[in-house]
Chain A
Amino acid sequence: LKVITIAETTKFDTVLAIEPYGFITGSSIAYGLGKGFVPVRKQGKLPNKTITIHVDQHDPLEIHADAVRPGSNVLLVGTCDCIAQIEAVEKMLVERGVNVTKRCD
């Protein structure tokens, strides 16, 4: 409920969610609010050209390169067991000019 409340009052076009449990909340939020959904996955899972996200002391993550659009507004969704991953993804997005309007974790 907290997540949905945050999502409803925040401006964003796309939900980025971290594998695996972020997908459950992320896809529901994106569908319910009519936004796009982009998965952030473990290395080697996404088939198209990717950007690799290095996470301190954890396995790296990947996101499809065409899903990272400078100037876009994203809602970043993860779970409380992946704070390091959320921070790493947020840093990568900010470096590439993406507005991370809110994190839910």
Chain B
Amino acid sequence: MVTFSSGARVGTLRQHVREIEDFPRKGVWTQDVTPLFQDPALFQMMIAEVADLVRKVEFDLVAGVESRGFMIGPPLASALGKGFLPIAKVHGNKLDTIQVAYDYEYSTDVLELPKGTIDPGTRVLVVDDQVVTGGTALAAASLIERLGGNVVGCAFILTQSYYDGLQAIRKYPVYALFEKNPSNQ
């Protein structure tokens, strides 16, 4: 189930998401959220709105996936007084990790988490900027669950319904500020 924000400022944020034609390949239009980070007022507004949306959810950690999840996760964690759990792509670190391969809008990749990173029962909110295929959030959730964590939901700035990404993560509560589909679909 998706819970959308009813915040009064969400329309302003939606307006500043920039649609880019033919990225990452011809025929695909992408939603570029970087203007929401670049402008100081929009950045504060965006984090405040996402924080409001998930304030009643009980959890311990915000998890963000490299790299855009590293942009939104830490400020959201900071706003809510939670810890931040970075889920990185495989960089060949020496720690003993568990890994998961996943598909996303650019290609396929492998994510990893060092064993023992979280205590069993830790409640985790997965965040990313947007749902496209849902592959990134699903892969992150599976790593957290394999380490004994509970995924309490997934939070995003925006969802898209065109790629069935929401279907992929339907077992989790989803929180988003708004929906914004590519206007060529």
Asked whether A38 lies within 8 Å of B38 as measured between CB atoms, the reply is yes
Asked whether A20 lies within 8 Å of B88 as measured between CB atoms, the reply is yes
Known contacts A37-B38, A47-B23; is A31 also within 8 Å of B67 by CB? no
Asked whether B78 lies within 8 Å of A45 as measured between CB atoms, the reply is no
| Interface check A103, CB cutoff 8 A | no
In the complex, what residues of A have CB within 8 A of residue B70's CB? 19-21, 23-24, 27
B residues at A contact (CB < 8 Å): 18, 20, 23-24, 30, 32, 34, 37-40, 43-44, 47, 66-67, 70-75, 78-79, 84, 86, 88-89, 106
Dominant secondary structure at the A interface: mixed
Q: Of the candidates B32, B47, B86, which one forms a contact with A24 in the assembled complex, judged by CB atoms under 8 Å apart?
A: B86
Asked whether A67 lies within 8 Å of B38 as measured between CB atoms, the reply is yes
A residues at B contact (CB < 8 Å): 13-14, 19-21, 23-25, 27-28, 30-32, 34-39, 41, 44-48, 64, 67
Determine the distance from Cα of A34 to Cα of B23 in the docked complex, in whole angstroms: 30
Asked whether A23 lies within 8 Å of B71 as measured between CB atoms, the reply is yes
Q: Of the candidates A36, A38, A41, which one forms a contact with B67 in the assembled complex, judged by CB atoms under 8 Å apart?
A: A41
14 A-B residue pairs with Cβ-Cβ distance under 8 Å, sorted by A, are: A23-B71, A24-B70, A27-B70, A27-B72, A27-B75, A30-B40, A30-B75, A36-B38, A36-B43, A38-B38, A39-B71, A47-B24, A48-B18, A48-B20
